[in-house]
Structure 1
Amino acid sequence: MILRGLEVEQVRRFGDAVRLTGLGPGINLLGAPNEFGKSTLLAALRAVFLLAHGSKAGPVAALQPYGGRGAPRIAVDFTLDGCDWRLEKRFMQRAFARLEGGSERLDGDAAEARLHDLLGVEAGRRGTEAMGLLNALWVTQGHSLVQPDFSDPARATIRSCLEADLDAMTGGDAAGRVLSRVDADLAVLVDKRDNPRGRFRAAKEGEQEAAAELARLDGRRQALEDDLSAMADLRRRLAHEDDADRREKERADLAEAGRVRDRLRDYDARYRTARAVRDHAAAQLVAVRQDLAARAAWESDLAIGVARIAELDAALGAAQAAQDAAAAAHAGRLEAVQVADAARRAAREALDRAAGRVERARLTHERREAAAALDRLEQAAQAVTRARAELDACAIDDARMGTIRKAERALDAARAAGRAQATTLDVALADGARGRLMLDGQALEDGRIVVTDNAVLRIEGIGTITIAPASHGRDALRAELVRAEEGLRRALEAAGCVDVAGAEAALAVRRRTELVFQAAQTVLGGLLAAAGQVPATATEAARQRLADLDVRIARIGEAEADGAAGDPLELLDAAREAMQVAEDAYEAAHRALLAPDGTMRRAADELARLRAEAQVARDGVAQLARDLEAARAVEADDALSARLAASLDAAGMAEQALLRIEETRPDGTEALADAAILRLERTIQDGHARLAALRQEMAAREARIRAAEGDGLDERIAAQERLRAAHAAEDAACEREVAILKCLRDAVAAAERAATERYLAPLARAVQPALSALFPRAVATVEPDFSISALSRRIDEPFATLSDGTREQIAVLARLGLADLMRARGRPAMLVLDDALTYADSGRLDRMFDILTEASGRMQILILTCRTELFTGLGARRLAVEPVGGQDRSAG
């Protein structure tokens, strides 16, 4: 089977019709980026071959264009068994199917049935794909990692072949009866999960119950022996716990621990009191020392403040003198600046007058140019107006002339049609015969006469001849001639012309007028381009410009009526020089003013700073004096000294008392004493509890021993051992019977497996060469469902445990084997891989390329990929997707 072309329209992303071109035998490669539509093309290929055209189920609806409804149309050209076929289907709206090939053309369900017969597939149910081995060879994106899943018809074929081989090996119906009897006997002893049932289960459960009871009795006997052994140990421990001397010593130790804790608590109370007295005396001493230090600091700060006030008073006098000198210098320089400023203003007025005279001259020149521009604009506008009037006066234009020429051609055509059926008379008069030959009452002259209507030729002295031209369509031709003459007349009247020549002359006059109008418009457009306005606006703007210039000239004239005579530019230069001199003088006076001003400001700032600082110093000295006086009023200096001596004595005595108390510190700590008391109390309490527990445990064990001795344990144990042996014998018998039945069943199963392996041998032989090329010395295990379950290299490796790349490569090889098997049985086979071999390393990929190249000599292979660079070494035929022309593609 060779695919030669695929055309899709209104399929998912392909709205307009496109065609997959370049297809041929061997390996075909379509390399394109993601979202190009490669998977859509494969879906279209599966749909046209495997989906019914009348279905509207999910797989068909999924073919509709993105973002709207549509009618997917798919056409495919292919060659099968040397015959060329074309298959076309449209789905959803106005659905149809058409199959053409050889001498056949089938439509609708007949085309579907013939297609299924060609491909060897069975129709699917409820809109699903047709079922057959061909589905497994067209691998969609993401399914190259898994092996093909066969439909029920394929599995039924496999089962029928296996059953036929098994009958041949086992004797047919006899093997079936044996298997039935084996299964029935096994069903009595085991269930479908191979679990015991019936008497087999009863034997196992009885043995387990006897063993459990025997274990329970053995446990009771062991417990009795444990109780007897434990009683001796309990008596020894009870004698130890019930010792009166040991309990008396524990109570004496607890009393001594209480006395130690009391001594420690008394010492802690005395020590805390002495330390508090010492801390209080130390705090009093610190307070006295702080008061003495504060009073000394106040006296030192007061002396420093008084000295600082004296220094500031001297600095204030010097600063006042400097400020007075700076003020006098500043007054002189300020007067010089005022004089220079008056001279500068006078120079500025003179410069303004000179500039006014220059501006008047410039405006006068600008007015002359504006007046000339206004004249040119008015003349150009008048020329355009005149040309437009002359153009409007022309009654004819190209459209009317075209109508006249068309009417003239129609008249010529009508006349030519009339002449084609007219009768032609060639007249040659003899000497003296002029005036004797009359046609419809008019004398004829030498020459050719065309007669288009019935006419009477009279020959003087001889008679008359009636001429009747051919009458076929003559009335229609005459009517057409009249219509053509009337049309030409109306066209000439509309143009105001008498004939066609006059119309041509009038058109020539119009074209000359148009040239003159265009030239005038060009001149006017050039004048308006700078202004960017229409003629009326531009003219008004020019006139307004003249009026504005007149007003500005008049103003300057009024201001400079008394101006000096001379060249305005020379006067302006002289005024500028005078202005520069005045500016320089002003700048010099101003610079001279700035330096004294800075000195005066600095003197004023320094004077203000000294005054403020002196005031702050005086306020600080006064505050210090008040604070010192207030402190002495509260406590005199002598009293403060006496308080210091008393605080020193009190602190010394408190420290000595604390040292004496520390010398009497007992050993240990209160926490350790508490812990010793707690430990001894718990020891006494635990001794009482242990004594009570030991007595209770001894009583319990004595009761169990008496009960066990009277229960007959040995006799009961012997009886349970006999019961367990009986159940074990029954269990062994059932195990042997089940083993015999399973052995018989396994023998039949072995025969079945041999038949299966013989049936699968063609597929194994088809897959093995390619598998050996990719995995040297490897052998594949093929299951009855045509899947490869394991790969045997050094060890058996289940298919599910292999890497993604290896599983993908094996899945491709399995499909190649299936394709060869289908070809051997005369079935159509073609392999399609969508984004496959993406997990292969470079070495494996090259070997897969060699395998595919070898297989392409037997079948067509189509590869769709978004990784074109990986497949450059494949040497495949490159495919392209091209738009289809606009021919009609609808069904008949």
Structure 2
Amino acid sequence: MKLQRLRIENFKLFRAPFEIDGLTDGLNLFAAPNESGKSTVAEAIRAAFFERHRSSAVEHLRPWGESSATPTVEVDFELDGKPCRLTKAFLGKKRCELVIDGRPMDGAVAEDHLAALLGFRFPGKGASTPEHMGIPGLLWIRQGTSHDIASAVGFASDHLRNALGESLGELAASNGDAVLKAVEAERNELLTQSTGVPRGVYADANKLRAELEEKLEELLADVESYRSGVDRLSGLRRDHQRDEAAKPWTALREQLVVAQQRLDEAKGLDQKKTAQEAALKQIGAQVSSWRTQLQAMEREEATLAQREKNLQATQEGLARAIGELQAWEPRHAAAAKADAAAREALRLARQAASRVAQEKTVESLAEQFAVLLQSHEKAKAEQEKVTRLQAEAQALAVPEGELRRLRHCADALRTAQARLDAVATALEFELQPSAGVRVAGEELSGSTRRTVIARTDIEIEGVGRITVLPGGADLESLAIERDQARDELAALLQGLRAESIAAVEERVRQQALRKSEAAAAEAVLAALAPKGLGALAADMATREARLAEARKVLQDMPPAPADDAASLSSPQAESQEVAARAALETASAALNDAKVAAGNAREQVKAAEDELAAVKATLDDPARAGRKTEAGGALTDALAQQSAIQDKVAELAQRLQTINLPVLAQDVERLDRSVRQAEAAHNQRATEITRLEAELEARGALGQEEAASETQRELEHATRRCTELERRARALDHLLKLLREKRSALAQRLRAPLQKHLDHYLQILFPGAQVEVGEDLSPGRITRQGLRGAQSGAFEELSVGAREQMGVVARLAYADLLREARKPTLLILDDALVNTDEERLRQMKRVLYDAAARHQILIFSCHPEAWRDLGVVARSIP
């Protein structure tokens, strides 16, 4: 199958009709940028063959925003050497027309006939999907799907198997295959197809065996539990009778009474010790209080001398503070005077600096005003020049197109004159000086030439008249054409008030020259007055006003001082003022500190005098001596009581050391628990005996041992059944494996033609590599030589780029196989190798060039530079 022409209209991107013709039998390369319509062209080909013309599921074929458009595709192609034309219109005016070697068909009949020829089928309803596209779906690669080969091969497998010949079909329909299917069916009744897990009767037998094993285990556990219950009942009765006779809880209760008495006695001693310790603590507090009171009285007596020393020290400090204050007062006065002088000097210096700055401002403004005045004068002159040049250019202006019309008329006149001269009668004269010859009333002399287009009289003096009658059918029309061109030219020249075209051209040149000079003058004017003459005049007036104001300010300033203060610069005066202010601040701070220190010293002297008076008043109090004597006696009594209580506490502590109170408490708790536990255990044992007697009586009535024996027999039967089914399943599984291996070896030999074509292209792409053909006819394991020797891997384990390349190679091999089976082939590669590097792409071009000798290949790419060495000229879309 070879495409020859494609025409599409109202199809997605292409609203207007678009046609591709002149397709060659081999390689056809289409290179264009993204979104230019390459994939749309490929989709139009697919839609023409794969979609039913009456399908309503192809709305996506319409151009965007064109809800009433009718997508139309027309394809001219050759099939088995016969010319064919397929025309399809979708959605709007639906139609399908197929003409094969002059025989027309239309509608669904034409579509079904074409599907049978090319090896695909239509869906029951809806849009066509890859599973319906068969051989064309395998060979026509959509953008981004070249690496996905398995599913496409699966959809085309029936057609490929037919192309492999009758042998593979016979293999699929042979008795051996029937045996394989029968074995597989019987094996699958016992084992799952994929994982080999038991199923059916085999799974049921295993399940029954597991259930019986579980049931037997439960019954045996119940029998064992019954026997252990009988033994436990005998033990419980024996222990209960023993305790009933011995009554061990009575002895424990007597021990508990003795332990409680010992604990109570120990607690009484501990309480006495606690009371004595509390009394000792109280008397200790009293001793501390009386001792503190006596120590305070002694400290008050010692404070008198300390207060007298403090008073003397504060008086000396006051004298020093007053001396410091008196020393800083004259210094502060001198610093204040120096600061005032420095501030006055700074004022005068700043005044002088302001006057100098204002004088400079006046001088600067005067200079600026002079510059602006000069620029204004120059700008006015340039403005006049621009106005004059523009007026001259306007006067010389030639209306737009007039010069072109003049030249056109002159060319037409020359052409008409030349054509007229070519057919007119030419008269050449060689006259003697004395000859008198007149042509059309004009006297001639010497050598001359005249062209005659109408009746013309030649008068020769002394000879007579000669009348020339020129002939020619076109002579009159050519003369009229020449006269019209001459009149039009004369009218144009008259309208422009010019004598010739050269004068008009000179006028245009002069106009251009004036415009150029005006532009240069405008540039000068723009440089002198960027914002115009008005703005420049306003700026000049502003500067003049600012100059007058600055002069007025300078005039109002006080005159420069004549004393030494004027000799100081402003920075020097500021530096002196800062130093004087710092000295004043230092003197002020020191004077203030001296005042504060003197005030603090006076306060300290007064406070010391008050404290000394308070201490003397306290010591001179008549009741103080009595309180001191009373506190001494109370302290002596308290110390005696404290000693007596300490002796009692020591005696109680010594007695308690022989008694371990926590251990006694633990003994009471231990014996109490033992009594309660012994009684509870005796009662619980009696309850357990009653419960076991009832439970064993109930179990004995169930016949558990007989049930366990019956279950054991059933389990042995189920085990034998499972063993039989297991042997059968393993035998069938092994037999199926052997049959499949033999069938696979036979199928491998039958797939040899496809293997041959794959190897042919593979040696071009990967020299020395080998590829296996799977049972589904898709590429399987690939073995290549690498840096570490032979490397083998499945097709799915290759990189996306390598799978792209192998996908294209496999499709070329399928095309060769189909061609040998006399099936139609056409390959379409829509950006099929976008993940291929430069080196691999070079090898793939060799592969494609080799395949193009046998097949027509359409390549669509957005990288034209990558295909320059393919050997064909790239065509653009649209």
Structure 2 counterparts to residues 156-167 of structure 1, below 5 A = 164-165=170-171
1:151 equivalenced with 2:154 (yes/no) = yes
Aligned 8 A contact 1:456 1:467 in 2:
no
Q: Match for residue 200 of structure 2?
A: 195
> Is 691-700 or 159-168 further displaced after alignment?
159-168
Residues 404 and 491 of structure 1 are in contact (CA less than 8 Å); yes or no, is this contact kept in structure 2?
Answer: no
Q: TM-score, normalised by structure 2?
A: 0.62
Instruction: Give the AA of the match of 2:170.
Output: A
The CA deviation at 1:63 is: 11
Say yes or no: does 1:675 pair with 2:669: yes
Matched residue, 2:682 = 688
1:416: which partner in 2? 417
Unaligned ranges ≥5, structure 2: 4-9, 19-25, 192-196, 784-792, 860-864
What is the 5 A alignment of 1:812-827?
823=816, 826=820
Deviation at 1:700, TM superposition (A): 3.4
Contact (CA 8 Å) 1:364, 1:553: kept in 2 or not? Answer: no
Distance (whole Å) between structure 1 residues aligned to residue 150 and residue 87 of structure 2: 31
Report matched runs for 1:688-727 at 5 Å.
688-693=682-687, 695-696=689-690, 699-700=693-694, 703=697, 720=710
Corresponding position of 1:311: 313
**Partner letter of residue 649 of structure 2?**
L
Match of 1:320 among 312, 319, 322: 322
SS in 1 for 2:596: helix
2:743 maps to a residue whose letter is A
Structure-2 change in CA distance of 1:628 and 1:660 (3 Å): farther
Structure 1 residue 615 displacement after superposition: 1.9
**Conservation of the 8 A alpha-carbon contact between 1:436 and 1:459:** yes
| Distance (whole Å) between structure 2 residues aligned to residue 684 and residue 433 of structure 1 | 184
Superposition deviation, residue 597 in structure 1: 7.2
Give CA-to-partner distance per residue, 1:448-470, whole Å, 9 cap, x none.
55565688999999999795865
1:531-562 Cα offsets, whole Å, 9 max, x none, are x44223324544664566567668868989xx
Deviates more, 1:684-693 or 1:597-606: 597-606
Counterpart check, 1:238 vs 2:240? yes
SS in 1 for 2:679: helix
3-state SS in 2 of match to 1:318: helix
Residue 247 in structure 1 maps to residue 249 in structure 2: yes
- The reply to whether residue 538 of structure 1 matches residue 539 of structure 2 is no
Q: 1:397-408 alignment to 2 at 5 Å?
A: 397=398, 399=400, 402=403, 405-406=406-407, 408=409
- Cα-to-partner distance string for 1:791-812 (whole Å, 9 max, x where unaligned): 9xxxxxxxxx999958999999
Partner of 2:743: 755
Letter in 2 for 1:534: G
Q: 1:658 aligns with which of 649, 664, 673?
A: 649
- CA displacement at 1:605 relative to structure 2: 1.1
Contact 2:342–2:577 (8 Å) recurs in 1: yes
State how far apart, in whole Å, the 1-side matches of 2:357 and 2:611 are. Answer: 73
Q: What residue identity is the alignment partner of 2:406?
A: R
Q: How does 1:74-153 map to 2 (within 5 A)?
A: 126-129=127-130, 131-132=133-134, 150-151=153-154
Q: Among 611, 630, 637, which residue is 2:599 paired with?
A: 611
Cα RMSD, aligned residues only: 7.9
Query: What is the CA-CA distance between 1:885 and the residue it aligns to?
Result: 12
Q: Give the deviation of 1:203 after TM superposition.
A: 14
Separation in structure 2 between the aligned mates of residue 721 and residue 597 of structure 1, nearest angstrom: 119
Q: CA deviation at 1:395?
A: 4.7
Please say if residues 260 and 673 of structure 1, whose CA atoms lie closer than 8 Å, have aligned partners that are also in contact: no
Deviation at 1:696, TM superposition (A): 1.5
Alignment of 1:412-561 (within 5 A): 412=413, 416=417, 419=420, 423-424=424-425, 426=427, 450=451, 478=480, 481-482=483-484, 485-486=487-488, 488-489=490-491, 492-493=494-495, 495-497=496-498, 503=504, 510=511, 517=518, 520-521=521-522, 524-528=525-529, 532-542=530-540, 545=543, 549=547
* Structure 2 letter corresponding to 1:696: T
Residues 756, 784 of structure 1: 8 Å contact kept: no
Query: Measured at CA, do residues 43 and 581 of structure 1 come closer, stay the same or move farther in structure 2, by a change above 3 Å?
Result: closer
Give the residue type in structure 2 aligned to 1:755.
R
| 1:311 positional shift | 2.5
Deviation at 1:320, TM superposition (A): 2.7
State the one-letter code of the partner of 1:238. H
Cα gap change, 1:294 to 1:72, in 2 (>3 Å): farther
| In 2: Cα distance, 1:139 partner to 1:352 partner | 88
Distance 1:513 1:329 in 2: 87
State the number of aligned residues: 807
CA distance in 2 between counterparts of 1:215 and 1:372 reads 127
User: Aligned with 2:201: secondary structure?
Assistant: coil
CA contact (8 A) 2:154 2:776 kept: no
How far apart are 1:432 and its partner, in Å? 14
Cα contact 1:404–1:488 (8 A) shared by 2: no
- Aligned mates of 1:694, 1:762 — CA distance in 2: 83
What SS does the aligned partner of 1:242 have? helix
Give the secondary-structure state (helix, strand or coil) at the position aligned to 1:127.
Answer: coil
Counterpart of 2:397 in 1: which secondary structure? coil
The residue type paired with residue 662 of structure 1 is: A
Deviation at 1:252, TM superposition (A): 1.3
- Distance, in Å, in 2 between the alignment partners of 1:47 and 1:276 is 113
Where 2:425 maps in the other structure, the secondary structure is strand
Letter of the structure 1 residue corresponding to residue 600 of structure 2: A
Kept after mapping to 2: 8 A contact 1:54/1:96: no
Deviations 1:45-74 (A, max 9, x none): 899679957589999999999999999999
Q: 1:679: Cα distance to partner?
A: 1.9
CA positional deviation for 1:676:
1.3
Identity %: 15
Instruction: Give the Cα–Cα distance (whole angstroms) in 2 for the partners of residues 722 and 887 of structure 1.
Output: 86
Asked if the contact 1:53/1:91 (under 8 Å) is kept, the reply is no
For the 8 Å contact 2:219–2:704, the answer to whether it is kept is: yes
Q: 1:525 to 1:658 in 2, by over 3 A?
A: same
Note if contact 1:224-1:704 (Cα within 8 Å) is conserved in structure 2: no
Q: Does the Cα contact within 8 Å between 1:766 and 1:817 map onto a contact in 2? A: no
1:288-308, CA deviations, whole angstroms, 9 ceiling, x for partnerless residues? 556666676677677655534
The unaligned stretches of length 5 or more in structure 1 are 4-9, 18-24, 31-35, 564-571, 792-800, 839-845, 865-876
Question: What per-residue deviation string (whole Å, max 9, x for no partner) do you get for residues 597-652 of structure 1?
Answer: 74564244123124225425744875798799899999944555555445544544
CA distance in 1, matches of 2:138, 2:618: 114
Distance 1:262 1:809, change over 3 A: farther
